Amino acid sequence: MQGFALYPFDPPGDIAALRADLRAWLAVNQPQGDVVAQANCWASFDAGFSRALGAAGYVGMTLPVRYGGGDRHPLERYVVIEELLAAGAPVGAHWIADRQTGPLILRYGSEEQRERYLPGIAKGELYACIGLSEPGAGSDLAAVRTTARETPDGWRINGQKIWTTGAHFSHIMLALVRTEEGSERNAGLSQLLIDLDTPGITIRPIIDMAGHHDFNEVFFDDVLVPHGALVGERGQGWKQVTAELGLERSGPERYLSSHALLVALIDAAGPDPAPELATLIGELTAEMWALRQLSMSTAAKLAAGEDPMVEASVVKELGNAFEQDMPRRVQAIVDSGWDDEDDLAKLLRALLIASPSFSLRGGTREVIRGIIARGLGLR
Amino acid sequence: MSAAREMLCDTARAVFAEAVTAGIAPVEEAGFGLLLVPETENGFGGDWGDVNAVLQIAGVVVPDLPVAELIAGEALQPAATVSLMAGAMGQALSLSIDHVNTRQQFGRPLGKFQAVQQSLAVMACEVRAVEAAAAALASRLDAVRLDVIAADFEIAAAKLRANRAVGVVAAIAHQVHGAIGFTEEYDLHRVTVPLMRWRGAHGNDAFWAARLGRQVAALGGRGLWKAMTARGA
């Protein structure tokens, strides 16, 4: 990891115009509802918004035109994503499909899969979930036990996924399953693209400590999917999932998803803030600015076709710490009642409760630090 | 890195190595004072990207010599200090990695222990953040032709971020080194003591946080993002 270069963030085209157009579009189309929906906004589900965003060309931007995409550069998409997050737009419905499932189908999927799924993803109408975690396979993902056996009729799936965000509103799951009988650890795994309306699939909600229904248990009971559900190469699931996680961990959502709280803090402090508020705003701004530089450099490396697994982990680790720290530090300084109904109080309460999940989802802090340590040449 | 900058860095390494014993004279003689002077005025015609690269080396090799003062004026010293700090932090990380991969206890290298791995990962994140801050500050300074007023936001953010990293980086570097890192003989203090000094020089945390905080407060909540994106990328 030592001495690795910072990649210049240099997207093609008129980026100022791209930002201006999107901001103008958001001014008309972003729902002006509850401010809490703006915090942690990539978990805010709004199918109508996703569809409108897709129609405006802001979903599936990097996919080829023949699949309904915009053929745009990945860094143009990055600019759009950071604008949407900074505005607190409700991007949760299409988020996973746009961020990782679409690109994975494009990279590893068959022509049939691309034609079947990518246009719906680019329209902001087809939603996806990630079938990785299982009851016995959390941080230890290689312990996956859900099986898919090849039969003359297709793949027969048995097992269970858990903590599956958005399974209840998703159309498809990209699942990591054990296709090779008797295989162990990260060998013998494959990725299957499963239509969630297939008979034998049961989805049960898990309500989180904030009272929200984001994640689910998904049970597979003799579920039969066609041979064509296999994505990429049989037995290469681990390698493909690693590439998928690079997309999942490197984005600006790791530092920008609770930007609404910083906005509310600055507005509450006013143009002539008390010294302790000015100090806090200054410290949070410096951290956010540095994180943005790291995130942009990582995106540029990814766009250059390289594997930024370690850099992505650095962004995730620092971003998670920033986003967990922010509500705590705001609460320590701002006199705000737990049940107050002003924007700052509502955001503070929501993010204090949501923040423990930040260093769990997408890889725990301990796993992420382990990846960084390996990148340093330890182990 | 461009070929010209690679050559500049090679020269800096060689000259600074000589300066460790000879003092600032060889650095002056090699013409580092002309780094930012335009070629039309018989200077090197370098930019802040070059200064950043050179000072990161100075921060490791000759942290106690006034190389930054030789290259840049008073108004640019906060920015110069960020580069020195990025270099010194990179060296503290490098020494720490070497040490934990070499030093054996309980029959294996320290780097095999998860507790040590997790500490070094935390340290590496801080170092990366400061390197990114130094690079981003350099590109802003070059975009505005070293106008420190136009780059005031980036100078404040970068120096503050670097200051805040010092506590974590120096503490973990010393912790994983154990007693040997606390000796005069071993090289770690040659970067950690300057880091402690630089945190308080050219604006400590409170100075830059208050300044940046007031600047951002005047922008308003939504104004922060607009300003940040208007200033770069």
Query: Which contiguous run of DSSP H or E holds residue A302?
Result: helix A275-303
**CA A104, A105, A107, A111: dihedral to nearest 10 degrees?**
180
CB neighbourhood size of B185 (10 A): 6
Residues in B closer than 8 angstroms to A8, CB to CB, are: 139
Residue A3 lies in a domain: no
Two tokens, residue A264 = 């509310």
Residue A6 lies in a domain: no
Contact A142, A185 (CB under 8 A): yes
Residue A129: φ, ψ to 5°: -130, 165
Q: What is the pLDDT of residues A143-162, one digit of tens each?
A: 999 999 999 999 999 999 99
Residue A4 lies in a domain: no
Q: What is the pLDDT of residues B89-104, one digit of tens each?
A: 999 999 999 999 999 9
Residues in A closer than 8 angstroms to B121, CB to CB, are: 317, 368-370, 372-373, 376
Q: Looking at the structure, do residues A303 and A367 belong to the same domain, yes or no? A: yes
- Residue B176's pLDDT is 98
Q: Looking at the structure, do residues A153 and A267 belong to the same domain, yes or no? A: no
Q: What is the pLDDT of residues B189-221, one digit of tens each?
A: 999 999 999 999 999 999 999 999 999 999 999
CA distance B38 to chain A (A): 25
Q: How far apart are CA B202 and CA B155, in angstroms?
A: 11
Q: How far apart are CA A235 and CA A187, in angstroms?
A: 7
Range of the domain at A324: 250-375
Residue A7 lies in a domain: no
CATH number at residue A336: 1.20.140.10
Residue A32 lies in a domain: yes
The answer, yes or no, to whether residue A176 has pLDDT greater than 60, is yes
Q: How far apart are CA A97 and CA A314, in angstroms?
A: 24
CA distances from A31 to A45, A194, A208 (A): 12, 32, 25
Q: How far apart are CA A98 and CA A247, in angstroms?
A: 11
- State the complex-level ipTM: 0.97
Q: What is the pLDDT of residues B122-173, one digit of tens each?
A: 999 999 999 999 999 999 999 999 999 999 999 999 999 999 999 999 999 9
Residues in B closer than 8 angstroms to A291, CB to CB, are: 129
Residue A10 lies in a domain: no
CA distance B176 to chain A (A): 13
Residue A148: φ, ψ to 5°: -130, 120
Q: Calculate mean pLDDT across residues A168-196.
A: 97
Residue A349 lies in a domain: yes
- Residue A108's pLDDT is 96
Q: Is A276 a catalytic residue?
A: no
Asked if the Cβ–Cβ distance from A286 to B229 is below 8 Å, we say: no
What single-letter amino acid sits at B120? L
Count of structural domains within chain A: 3
Q: How far apart are CA A346 and CA A331, in angstroms?
A: 12
Asked if the Cβ–Cβ distance from B133 to A275 is below 8 Å, we say: no
Q: Calculate mean pLDDT across residues A118-141.
A: 97
Q: How far apart are CA B186 and CA B195, in angstroms?
A: 16
> Domain-by-domain residue ranges, chain B?
3-230
Query: Which contiguous run of DSSP H or E holds residue A207?
Result: strand A201-207
Query: What is the architecture of the domain spanning B3-230?
Result: Up-down Bundle (1.20)
CA distances from B214 to A285, B10, B76, B88, B224 (A): 11, 41, 21, 30, 12
The two most distant CA atoms of chain A are separated, in Å, by: 73
The answer, yes or no, to whether residue A270 has pLDDT greater than 90, is yes
What residue in A sits closest to B125 (Cα-Cα)?
A: A314
- Residue A326's pLDDT is 98
The answer, yes or no, to whether residue A40 has pLDDT greater than 90, is no
Which of A179, A202, A236 represents a domain boundary (last residue)?
Answer: A236
Q: What is the pLDDT of residues A55-82, one digit of tens each?
A: 999 999 999 999 999 999 999 999 999 9
Contact A51, A57 (CB under 8 A): no
Which of A88, A107, A126 represents a domain boundary (last residue)?
Answer: A126
What single-letter amino acid sits at A348? L
Nearest to A282 among B93, B160, B218 (CB): B160
Residues in A closer than 8 angstroms to B224, CB to CB, are: 262-263, 266, 285
Q: Calculate mean pLDDT across residues A80-89.
A: 97
Residue A324 lies in a domain: yes
Which of A209, A236, A263 represents a domain boundary (last residue)?
Answer: A236
Q: What is the mean pLDDT of chain B?
A: 97
Asked if the Cβ–Cβ distance from B97 to A289 is below 8 Å, we say: no
H-type alpha helices, A334-364: 343-354
Q: Looking at the structure, do residues A218 and A140 belong to the same domain, yes or no? A: yes
Helix then strand count (H, E) for chain B reads 10, 2
Asked if the Cβ–Cβ distance from B156 to A262 is below 8 Å, we say: no
CATH number at residue A62: 1.10.540.10
Instruction: Decide the pairing of beta strands B108-109 and B104-105.
Output: antiparallel
Q: Please say whether the dihedral angle defined by the alpha carbons of residues A24, A29, A32 and A33, taken in this order, is positive or negative.
A: negative
Asked if the Cβ–Cβ distance from A280 to B213 is below 8 Å, we say: yes
Contact A194, A157 (CB under 8 A): yes
Q: Which of A248, A253, A287, A323 is catalytic?
A: A248
Q: Looking at the structure, do residues A334 and A369 belong to the same domain, yes or no? A: yes
Nearest to B117 among A82, A277, A369 (CB): A369
**Which DSSP symbol is given to A71?**
-
Q: Looking at the structure, do residues A280 and A225 belong to the same domain, yes or no? A: no
Helix (H, G, I), strand (E, B) or coil at A129: strand
Q: Looking at the structure, do residues A365 and A260 belong to the same domain, yes or no? A: yes
